Amino acid sequence: MFTWTTDPPTDEGWYWAKDLREYYEKEKPYIVYLRWFDDQLCQMNWPIRTELMLWAGPISEPETPDVVSKKSLKEVLKKRL
């Protein structure tokens, strides 16, 4: 279970984010991927906002079920494209 914090993320990964500024819908959190760019954590290439933000995470990536091998998953995706 995650807990909201005002501490900004310190590692790359997926995070829940909530913007508390007046003109944003405060009750609607969203998920962002943060990565290192120019020695700072960024969303895409933009530095993350740390003021008036709540953070939770990082969110771990779901695992692929054993019944679906990576090879068969690639084959399914090729057929759909």
pLDDT at 57 > cutoff 90? yes
Confidence band of 71 (pLDDT split at 50, 70, 90): low
Q: What does the alpha-carbon distance between residue 40 and residue 11 come to, in Å, rounded to a whole number? A: 10
Q: Map out the domains of the chain as residue ranges.
A: 13-80
pTM of the model: 0.70
Confidence band of 78 (pLDDT split at 50, 70, 90): confident
H helices present in the chain, as ranges: 70-80
| Mean pLDDT, the chain, whole residue set | 84
Place of tokens 């279970």: 1
